[in-house]
């Protein structure tokens, strides 16, 4: 069979489309999404690539961190087990936005605005 991504001949399980996980990820990253070949969060190759270029694509949103809206970020943060969300890159991104964006921008964007960000009321 032929790899959909690099056209290399390979032998794999029936119905396989890619010669390697690397090719599968590369193909997905080019914007094509095949329903039957989901990218798993625990995919080691994906994690490797995510570290390489600073881009992160979650299994559900398939967006980079910067492309993620507040709802995406809340969703991803909600997936972390126990207290590990506090160290997640999604939480870090959310905090950066809360700190750098104005109250009005956050309000428009649909963020949960923390008390410390609210304009001072007399
Ligand atoms: Zn390939």
Residue range 28-81, pLDDT digits in tens? 777 655 555 555 555 555 555 444 444 444 445 567 888 889 988 888 888 888
Distance between Cα 31 and ligand 1 center (Å) = 16
Q: How far is ligand 1, taken at its centre, from the CA of residue 21, in Å?
A: 8
Distance 26 CA to ligand 1 centre (A): 9
Model confidence pTM above 0.75: no
User: What residues does each domain of the chain span?
Assistant: 1-55, 59-122
Distance of CA 32 to the CA centre of its chain: 16
For tokens 């090719």, the residue is: 23
Alpha carbons 99 and 38: distance in angstroms, whole number: 34
pLDDT band (50, 70, 90) for residue 122 = low
The stretches of 65-110 forming alpha helices (DSSP H) are: 70-79, 89-100, 103-109
Contact by Cβ (8 Å): 93, 54: no
Provide the pLDDT for residue 50.
47
Those residues whose beta carbon sits under 5 angstroms from the ion ligand 1 are 3, 5-6, 8, 19, 23
């Amino acid at each position: 069979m032929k790899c959909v991504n690099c056209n290399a001949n390979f032998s794999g399980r029936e119905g396989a489309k890619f010669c390697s996980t690397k090719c599968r990820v590369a193909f997905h990253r080019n914007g094509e999404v095949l329903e039957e070949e989901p990218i798993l969060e625990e995919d080691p190759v994906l994690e490797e690539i995510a570290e390489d270029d600073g881009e992160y694509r979650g299994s559900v949103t398939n967006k980079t961190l910067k492309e993620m809206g507040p709802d995406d970020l809340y969703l991803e943060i909600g997936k972390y087990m126990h207290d590990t969300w506090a160290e997640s890159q999604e939480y870090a991104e959310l905090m950066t936005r809360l700190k750098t964006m104005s109250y009005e921008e956050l309000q428009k964007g649909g963020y949960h605005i923390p008390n410390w960000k609210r304009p001072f009321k007399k």
